[in-house]
Amino acid sequence: MNIYGVDWSKGEENLTEDDYNLIISEASKVISENTAEKRDIAIAYSFRGNAYQHMGKLQEAISDYTLAIELLPDNRSAYYNRGGAYFDLKNYSEALYNFSKALEIDPTDRSALNWVNQLTEYLKTI
C-alpha cells in the first residue's frame, strides 16, 4: 500500500529517514491545499505527526496531533500518538490524559487501557 509516497507494505518499523521526510513533504502538501476536506487534513496532520515522532521531533509531533484533534475531536489515534509523544518527553500526566481520551473514544483499545493502567500506577508512586 502506497500512502504519501511511501510503500507501507515493508512495515513501519522498516521505514527510513528518507521515507519520513517524504511523508512530511506529501502530508504538508495536503495540509496546505485549500480544497482538501477537513478529515483529509486531520489525517495528514496525524501522518506528519507520526513521521516527526519517529524522527524524534516530539514537539512538532505533538503540535500536529493537536491540530488533527482540533479538526476531528474523536480522532483516537491522534490522542493515542500524542500520548506516546508526551510519554517520550517524560510528561506522564499529559500522556495519561491522552491515553485516557483515546480509551474514552474506543473502549476496546487494549493498548490504550494498558498505558492508562501503567501510568496511573506509576503516577501514584511519585
Residue 36 has a pLDDT of 76
Q: In 3D, which of 47, 43, 8, 2 has the Cα closest to residue 24?
A: 47
Contact (Cβ atoms closer than 8 angstroms) between residue 84 and residue 97: no
Contacts of 25 (CB under 8 A, 6+ apart): 5
Residue 64 has a pLDDT of 98
pLDDT tens by residue, the chain, 126 residues:
556 666 556 566 667 888 889 889 989 998 998 787 899 999 999 999 999 999 999 999 999 999 999 999 999 999 999 999 999 999 999 999 999 999 999 999 999 999 999 999 999 998
Region of 4 on the Ramachandran plot (φ > 0 left; ψ -120 to 50 alpha; else beta): left
Strand-pair partners of 6 = 3
Domains of the chain: 2-125 (1.25.40.10)
Residue 17 has a pLDDT of 85
Q: In 3D, which of 67, 32, 28 has the Cα closest to residue 51?
A: 28
